[in-house]
Amino acid sequence: MELGNDTQISEFLLLGLSEEPELQPLLFGLFLSMYLVTVCGNLLIILATISDSHLHTPMYFFLSNLSFADICLTSTTVPKMLMNIQTQSKVITYEGCITQLFFFIFFAGVDDFLLTVMAYDRYMAICHPLHYTIIMNSWLCGQLVLASWILSALYSLLHSLMTLRLSFCPHVEIPHFYCDLSKLVHLACSDTFLNDMVIYFTGVLLGGGPLTGILYSYSKIVSSIRTISSAQEKYKAFSTCASHLSIVSLFYCTLLGVYLSPGATHSSQSSATASVMYTVVTPMVNPFIYSLRNKDIKRALKRLFGGKVY
């Protein structure tokens, strides 16, 4: 991007979570451990759903896609952070920053849309059980997942292209451990009004839309469960949604907590620390939430490792 003084910025500085030298080994070990757990845990979910024919259902098809998106989401930020700590460098190139920005928004969007699709799947399973297998066929499931990936790619491409039009002054310091869109826009030297409008509009449309769909699905699910007379059947119906509801709550509560907090738009490292929850912690705990409460996943994992299944 051409600046007023005919220079072109070639790199940014990622300040990370802390500039204290004595904390760097601790941060390196902590994030390396979380990254390995995230990759291994989500990879096991994918392998379990592929290897066990009993898990070839819409719910686990969506779950395997969510696990893959979680691996990719974490991989866009954590390896670069670990490399910067290891090499004691804060530099990220301009091209690298825009690329990281694109893929981070892309996979975060896929997560968002897939959580909505999974809520719709639970709604159909509980509210329309007799028509579930007919409606949620393999063709529709494939189309829903494909739409999630395509919409996320377009959403990410829009923000990346809008960021490319901005001009930046030399020696830009990003108070984050990755190239966050809101931080990057507010550090630009050129006018960011159009960028801000696009961020707010797409945030309401593609952020509020899926959340509204999830809330609507669960309002119908709760209404349907309340009509069930048997307490055992009520518990069974609710238990099928508990894992997904836990992930949705964790994802949206941390996301909204970061971007709707008073200090979210300030150039401080407080929001960077808070964003660790939905960028690293949430993808890490997702496999545990699903596997600890799910007998089918436990059985598939035992088969995967050659254990006895009872």
- Assigned domain for 5 exists: no
- Assigned domain for 3 exists: no
- Assigned domain for 192 exists: yes
Q: DSSP string covering the chain, please?
A: -B-TTS-B--EEEE--S---GGGHHHHHHHHHHHHHHHHHHHHHHHHHHHH-GGG-SHHHHHHHHHHHHHHHHHHTTHHHHHHHHHHT--EEEHHHHHHHHHHHHHHHHHHHHHHHHHHHHHHHHHH-TTTHHHHS-HHHHHHHHHHHHHHHHHHHHHHHHHHHT----SSEEESSSS--HHHHHHT-SS--HHHHHHHHHHHIIIIIHHHHHHHHHHHHHHHHHHT---HHHHHHHHHHHHHHHHHHHHHHHHHHHHHSSTTTTSSSSHHHHHHHIIIIIHHHHHHHHHHHS-HHHHHHHHHHTT----
- Assigned domain for 74 exists: yes
CATH number at residue 145: 1.20.1070.10
pLDDT for residue 260: 62
pTM attached to this predicted model? 0.90
Tens digit of each residue's pLDDT (9 = 90 or more) over 63-120: 999 999 999 999 999 999 999 999 988 999 999 999 999 999 999 999 999 999 999 9
Total domains present in the chain: 1
pLDDT for residue 229: 78
Q: Which domain holds residue 285?
A: 11-304
pLDDT for residue 193: 92
What band does 272 get if pLDDT is binned at 50, 70 and 90?
confident
- Assigned domain for 81 exists: yes
- Assigned domain for 2 exists: no
pLDDT for residue 3: 41
What band does 2 get if pLDDT is binned at 50, 70 and 90?
very low
- Assigned domain for 292 exists: yes
- Assigned domain for 46 exists: yes
